[in-house]
Structure 1
Amino acid sequence: MTHSSSDELIQASACEIKDLLNKNKVSPSELLNVLEARIQAVDGQVNALPTLCFDRARAFAKDLEKKSLEDRGILAGIPVPIKDLTATKGVRTTSGSPIFANRTPDWSDALVETMEANGAVVYAKSNTPEFGAGAHTFNPVFGTTRNPWDLSKSAAGSSGGAAAALATGCAWLAHGSDMGGSLRNPASFCGVVGLRPSMHRLADGPSTSPFQTLSMQGPMARNVADTALFLDAMVGFHNANPLALPATEASFLSTTQQKIKPIKVAYSSDLGVTPVDPEIAGICAQAALQFEEVGVIVEEATPELSEAPEIFKRLRGLDFVIGLGPLLDQHRDKLKQDIIWNIEYGRSLTAEDIAWAERKRGEIYYRMQSFFAEYDLLLCPTTIVPPFPVEQRYVEECAGQKLDTYIDWLAIVSTITLTASPAISIPCGFTKSGLPVGLQIVGKPQGEGPLLSAANVLEEILPKTNTPITPLSSIAQT
């Protein structure tokens, strides 16, 4: 394979790569060679993929290549990195924690099994904050993941490694997960697409809490159609997850490619829950209004969501007690302060505190359903600030307003987590200093098809974000 064709492959979309695989113009093994060279060239600057497993990937690819083209699954041999929170058989899986720095599971998460059954070739683990806590990707095992658009800035998180790998051409598709925006925030900061699916759209597990409703796994890619393709390779019931939905009859990619326009959408600059940097609010409002170009009605509106940040804080606290409480008792000295605070806060809650949160979450859900009777989609900024300096632990202030905890700056995405709706972040423009901005688009529960289809319509109208890029040490001020 010539150098120029390697470059062309890196620049290609996942759908184009799948087409080449299906026409036998490239093999899964060749794609692995291309990625290995690309990672060697650029990942040292961003630290997106700290654990590589190319031997495992090549063995898997060779087995796949023995099958007929028709039997290679939805992805047909496209290589995929797995977030370092998710167990992958025979591959170091640390969760970004010194407690598990040397863990190599002898089993794979149900979702990894599903992806591999659908033709995904796992070649790397992507970096994440410790236990995925916090929307800035740094941990004591592998260090910090940097933003490819400006290496002095954060890639966000907790799927920061996944987003940075996509943006630098070290991945065509990337797996991630999202509790308080962890697929959406890094997509926004890195100029790629991240989809938090509906509750339990995908089967994962086994886990310490198979009945939980806050954290969901999902796809990231460089554009909407690629994201839909990857979602198709992730869905399907598995008994490791008692709440998982069966796969839909129509593929998400085919629905996405129909580019079905919504009739009427709502835009909110802040969902009534958070301060937002005025430049970000302006860029996102401008992007939402682009829907009018194709005859969609755009109105400023939002359901009443003001209690969502407090609800999320309590339910997240409970989740942390369930998932990480035993680790605090055994390894307090090996946990970062933010996680200790989160668990101890959860333990301070009374049954009545949690009952209030559950009741109020129910009210928000029904309010959203009434809202969706009038509007097809709800649009708002994905992140409230542009990418921040990599040395900062989290956003402490926005638009002159102080933010108290490490999760406060995520209210615009964590509020949507509570609604059970699917939500996607798509690139929608750049700040004056050239940093990417994401628009969050929220659909009806189990409405990924219409959501992706509408996002595909808008993506076509919005200015193009030309990923992948070679990492930039800084951006020239304009």
Structure 2
Amino acid sequence: MNATSSLPPLVTLTASQLSLAIQSREVSCRDVMTAYLSWIEKINPAVNAIVSLQDAEGLLRQADERDNLLARGEYLGWMHGFPQAPKDLAATDGIITTLGSPLMKKHVPQYDAIVVERAKRSGAILIGKTNTPELGLGSHTYNPVFGTTLNAYDQRKTAGGSSGGAAVAVALHMLPVADGSDMMGSLRNPAAYNNIFGFRPSLGRVPNGPGNEVFYQQLSTEGPMARTVTDLAMLLSVQAGYDARVPLSLAADPAVFAGSLQRDFKGTRIGWLSDMDGYLPMEDGVLDLCGSALAHFEDLGANIEHLAPGFAMDRVWSAWLTLRGFLIAGKFGMMAANPATRRLLKPEALWEIEQGQKLSAADVYRASTERSAWYEAVRKLFEQVDFLVLPTAQVFPFDATLDWPKHIAGKQMDTYHRWMEVVVPATLAGLPAISVPAGFNDAGLPMGLQIIGKPQDDLSVLQLAHAYERVIPYTRIKPRLLRSMPATGSAPIGLV
């Protein structure tokens, strides 16, 4: 039986196929919107990925306006008529933006985030938002405003985060593509947990703003998620490019990402970092599964080399804690200063803020020098290999009722995010990194691999991911939820 037999036909199209069909007027934007809204109504209650869904009548009216533009020969861009739901951390003009926080549950911005501006300029229609953890903190998407987002493959498990709602919406065809953001793996972790692609671009590739601070925001970036690498690259071509409001944004032409991703990888050297020479604890099965997936790079003619990081990784973690605490305390510290708002913050947010408030300027500077030393160490690794690869996560998707994993392989996790330490190296070095599917364990739970590229070489990372996608079988394994809804009170459903 076809795994996607219950989907409306328009929803089964890739984003690139959908874009072409709309542009050529083979399908109307109204029909696209109708199909997506109908599917969301059916599937979203099982996973809670899309929140703040907008009025259908208004959305269909916007779809009609897009159709009228096409009738006049006016085409806005690749996303013309696309239903889109920005992550609930991204400001959306006139649409509630809660950040998953009860303190923001009625907040309606009067401006769009740059990534939202660009999607709308390309023709996207905002249908709502995608769910995120409170204040975007933690790689598990739950909050007191909208509740928990559940995994596309097993509704007992976490969707990951903080772009968990976006990943599930894409995996279950509720959106053709989605935006997300990534500070500590928030594009990569949920992509791995939902068997799709999530790309953290190079530092500055996608402008993060507008905001009241534009010089120190060097850890978090926005970026694309998709079911195919081609669709992901096309969305990046919309999102990327210089913006004068963000002085550290990159000026390179984003049109390069809309071109061909074809490339020969014979003789390419890939460095397998595994568990960082024994430093990172891994749940049983993660390394075996990811190690097996490496064979697909060899199918492409690449050579795999086992590498040690050549750096004391506890120094990287220490620098990370300092720089993250510094930024979070700066951004959300006022929420903790007022007793009335403080009591509405989750413990993990308070902990981050308090850690940041203890820091001195000298502490932050030392952390930056450690970050710089790590960058130099990685730069030397790239003198030996062309790409670095390691698992996207240290554990498989865990029980959605837990707040976070407390132990991995018998080792206690001393912070709420220590279990995701594996994503920190790419973040701190500001490197482009994509999570690609790596297969499923015996319980049917997905895992991913991170492909990390050289500084600002986003295109090469996408090209390798595209080549890898062509030889893997994992993307053909779809969630059973796509074809059969569970009966009320029934057990969660897993793989087809």
TM bin, normalised by shorter chain, reads over 0.9
Evaluate the alpha carbon distance shift between residue 260 and residue 249 of structure 1 in structure 2; reply closer, same or farther with a 3 A threshold. Answer: farther
Three-state SS of the structure 1 residue aligned to 2:382 is helix
Say which of 104, 118, 122 aligns to 1:100: 104
Structure 2 residue aligned with 1:438: 448
Which TM-score applies when normalising by structure 2? 0.91
Deviations 1:341-362 (A, max 9, x none): 0000111122232222100100
Contact 1:168 1:470 in 2 (8 A): no
Deviations 1:348-405 (A, max 9, x none): 1222322221001001111111211221110010011110001111111111111111
Distance 1:222 1:477 in 2: 17
Question: What's the CA shift for 1:248?
Answer: 2.0
Question: Which moves more between the two structures, 269-278 or 309-318?
Answer: 269-278
Structure 1 residue aligned with 2:26: 25
1:239 equivalent to 2:241? Answer no
Structure 1 residue aligned with 2:433: 423
Structure 2 residue aligned with 1:62: 64
Code of the residue aligned with 1:62 in structure 2: it is D
Evaluate the alpha carbon distance shift between residue 340 and residue 114 of structure 1 in structure 2; reply closer, same or farther with a 3 A threshold. Answer: same
Distance 1:159 1:192 in 2: 12
Code of the residue aligned with 2:256 in structure 1: it is S
Gap runs ≥5 in structure 2: none
1:311 equivalent to 2:319? Answer yes
Contact 1:364 1:419 in 2 (8 A): yes
Say which of 241, 252, 258 aligns to 1:253: 258
Q: Within 5 Å, which residues of 2 pair with 1:259-274?
A: 263-272=268-277, 273-274=279-280
Structure 2 residue aligned with 1:403: 413
Contact 1:432 1:477 in 2 (8 A): no
Code of the residue aligned with 2:404 in structure 1: it is Y
Question: What's the CA shift for 1:118?
Answer: 1.6
Q: Percent identity?
A: 36
Code of the residue aligned with 1:22 in structure 2: it is Q
Q: Within 5 Å, which residues of 2 pair with 1:334-349?
A: 334-349=344-359
Contact 2:479 2:495 in 1 (8 A): no
Distance 1:250 1:476 in 2: 38
Structure 2 residue aligned with 1:16: 17
Three-state SS of the structure 2 residue aligned to 1:325 is helix
Contact 1:196 1:423 in 2 (8 A): yes
1:281 equivalent to 2:287? Answer yes
Question: Which moves more between the two structures, 325-334 or 261-270?
Answer: 261-270
Gap runs ≥5 in structure 1: none
Contact 1:162 1:176 in 2 (8 A): yes
Question: Which moves more between the two structures, 139-148 or 25-34?
Answer: 25-34
Contact 2:183 2:220 in 1 (8 A): yes
Contact 2:286 2:447 in 1 (8 A): yes
Evaluate the alpha carbon distance shift between residue 82 and residue 326 of structure 1 in structure 2; reply closer, same or farther with a 3 A threshold. Answer: same
Code of the residue aligned with 1:383 in structure 2: it is A
Q: Within 5 Å, which residues of 2 pair with 1:80-159?
A: 80-159=84-163
Structure 2 residue aligned with 1:450: 460
Deviations 1:127-184 (A, max 9, x none): 0001100110000100000112111100010000001111111111011001000011
Evaluate the alpha carbon distance shift between residue 55 and residue 339 of structure 1 in structure 2; reply closer, same or farther with a 3 A threshold. Answer: farther
Say which of 181, 189, 200 aligns to 2:185: 181
Distance 1:366 1:42 in 2: 47
Contact 1:266 1:378 in 2 (8 A): yes
Say which of 203, 211, 230 aligns to 2:235: 230
Distance 2:222 2:308 in 1: 26
Evaluate the alpha carbon distance shift between residue 73 and residue 247 of structure 1 in structure 2; reply closer, same or farther with a 3 A threshold. Answer: farther
Distance 2:113 2:162 in 1: 18
Three-state SS of the structure 2 residue aligned to 1:276 is coil
Distance 2:422 2:52 in 1: 32
Question: What's the CA shift for 1:75?
Answer: 2.2
Distance 1:133 1:262 in 2: 40
Contact 1:255 1:450 in 2 (8 A): no
Which TM-score applies when normalising by structure 1? 0.95
Code of the residue aligned with 2:226 in structure 1: it is A
Structure 2 residue aligned with 1:74: 78
Structure 2 residue aligned with 1:209: 213
Q: CA RMSD in A?
A: 2.1
Code of the residue aligned with 2:245 in structure 1: it is A
Distance 1:172 1:454 in 2: 22
Evaluate the alpha carbon distance shift between residue 245 and residue 467 of structure 1 in structure 2; reply closer, same or farther with a 3 A threshold. Answer: farther
Structure 2 residue aligned with 1:394: 404
Structure 2 residue aligned with 1:300: 306
Question: What's the CA shift for 1:249?
Answer: 5.9
Evaluate the alpha carbon distance shift between residue 92 and residue 371 of structure 1 in structure 2; reply closer, same or farther with a 3 A threshold. Answer: same
Distance 1:398 1:123 in 2: 39
Question: Which moves more between the two structures, 402-411 or 115-124?
Answer: 115-124
